[in-house]
Structures are given as structure tokens and as C-alpha cells.
């Protein structure tokens, strides 16, 4: 399975509706929303009003990635705003099991993200309770960064770990994804690809999305 989730963080916010329409008309599967608070990562993005507006015109499920501290305070509101998948960072959750339960209770799918330096083995106790692991392939906070090559082994390790515990687990990657590495990443075990800069800075974002889907 290959799912493409274009990141709106890199879209043209002066004409956001048309950018969402581009994704709607493409072969993309989800729409990725990066929520940043300026504390967990050194950048600020957007909040509930923008998510609600996107939800009104989106024809794809909203894949919401929370790069914020204390995400448990806002889980219900993100679900109410239209989130299909809510992904929280392992590094931001003091009580990860409790946060996972909150996402389930809110009616959303559960994702847990790992920063590049975080070992996949730390998720072993909770792998059977979540739907997806997001492996960050760049340091979170900014688009356009170079892909971290050591991530390939990390993905393979995660796929091996999940094969017995949760064979249905989705593995997502975010950062530096392009036509040059998507096939190799899929072969390593990735199911869901987030692409932002590569899509929205291309001449034809819709065609770029479709090309990524085809190559993978």
C-alpha cells in the first residue's frame, strides 16, 4: 500500500482554497497538516480556524501532525475540527498511553511520531495500540530540509519490530521526500509519504503528487 499525504505547510496560504482543490483533484490520499506551537519546535504554523476552513473544502481525510507540547489538552478540539488521524510526538507526551486513549475516545486514528534521534524500540510497549508511526526524516519544524539517510535502517527496524506486534501498523515518513527516494523508502517498509516542498514548489503540484504515487 502506498498513501500520499501532501503537506499544506508548504502551500500558498494567500490562496489556500485553490491549493486544497489541487490536492482534491490529485491522486493524493490524505492532506497533511503540521501544527507547530513555537515551543516543541522553533516555528509556528496554524490552529483550529484554519483546520476547520480546510475541512470544509477538503475531499481527503485530514492527517494532523501535532508538533506541540502537552498535546493532550487539545485532542478533542482537533478531532472536532475534522482530524481523521491525530499524530502526537513521543517526545512531547509525558503519559503517552493516556494521550493515545484520548485520541481513541475522540474518534480519530492514532499516530505517534519519532524525532530523528529517538529509537524505535521505545514504542514497543504501545505498538499494538496505535495505527501509525511517523518517522521524521528531518528535524521537525521547517520544510525543505535534506533527508537524513540513516532513517532507512530505522524504518527497517520498525517494520521488523511491528511485524509480530502489529502487522497492520502504518509507517509514515515526513521530510525530504521526492522521486529520488520514494521507491527505496517504500521497499524499506514505508506506507505513507508526506511531501510538502517537493509538491507545492513544483510547476504542477497535481502532476507531482500523481508521479510520486506512480513511482512508489
Active site residues: 34, 174
Task: Give, to the nearest 10 degrees, the angle between helix 48-57 and helix 16-25.
Answer: 50
Phi, psi of 86 (to 5 degrees): -115, 120
CA 156 → CA 112, 151, 165, distances in Å?
17, 9, 15
Backbone torsion region of residue 29, taken as left when φ is above 0, otherwise alpha when ψ lies between -120 and 50, otherwise beta: alpha
**What CA–CA distance (Å, rounded) separates 100 from 163?**
21
Backbone torsion region of residue 144, taken as left when φ is above 0, otherwise alpha when ψ lies between -120 and 50, otherwise beta: left
Task: Give every strand in the sheet of 170-174, ordered side by side.
Answer: 3-6, 192-195, 170-174, 132-136, 109-114, 83-89, 62-67, 31-36
Neighbours of 42 (CB within 10 A): 11
Are 22 and 199 a contacting pair, CB within 8 Å? no
Amino acid at each position: 500500500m502506498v498513501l500520499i499525504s501532501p503537506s499544506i505547510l508548504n502551500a500558498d496560504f494567500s490562496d489556500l482554497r485553490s491549493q486544497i482543490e489541487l490536492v482534491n483533484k490529485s491522486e493524493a490520499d490524505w492532506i497533511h497538516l503540521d501544527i507547530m506551537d513555537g515551543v516543541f519546535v522553533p516555528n509556528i504554523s496554524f490552529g483550529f480556524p484554519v483546520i476547520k476552513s480546510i475541512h470544509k473544502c477538503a475531499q481527503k481525510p485530514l492527517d494532523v501532525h501535532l508538533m506541540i507540547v502537552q498535546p493532550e489538552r487539545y485532542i478533542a478540539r482537533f478531532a472536532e475540527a475534522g482530524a481523521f488521524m491525530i499524530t502526537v510526538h513521543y517526545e512531547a507526551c509525558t503519559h503517552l498511553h493516556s494521550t493515545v486513549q484520548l485520541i481513541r475516545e475522540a474518534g480519530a486514528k492514532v499516530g505517534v511520531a519519532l524525532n530523528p534521534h529517538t529509537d524505535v524500540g521505545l514504542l514497543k510497549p504501545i505498538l499494538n495500540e496505535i495505527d501509525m508511526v511517523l518517522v521524521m526524516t528531518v528535524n521537525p519544524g521547517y520544510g525543505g530540509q535534506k533527508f537524513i539517510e540513516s532513517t532507512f535502517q530505522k524504518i527497517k527496524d520498525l517494520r521488523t519490530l511491528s511485524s509480530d506486534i502489529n502487522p497492520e501498523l502504518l509507517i509514515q515518513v515526513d521530510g525530504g521526500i521526492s522521486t529520488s527516494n520514494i521507491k527505496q523508502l517504500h521497499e524499506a517498509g514505508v506506507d505513507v509519504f508526506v511531501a510538502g516542498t517537493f509538491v507545492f514548489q513544483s510547476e504542477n503540484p497535481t502532476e507531482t503528487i500523481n508521479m510520486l504515487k506512480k513511482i512508489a
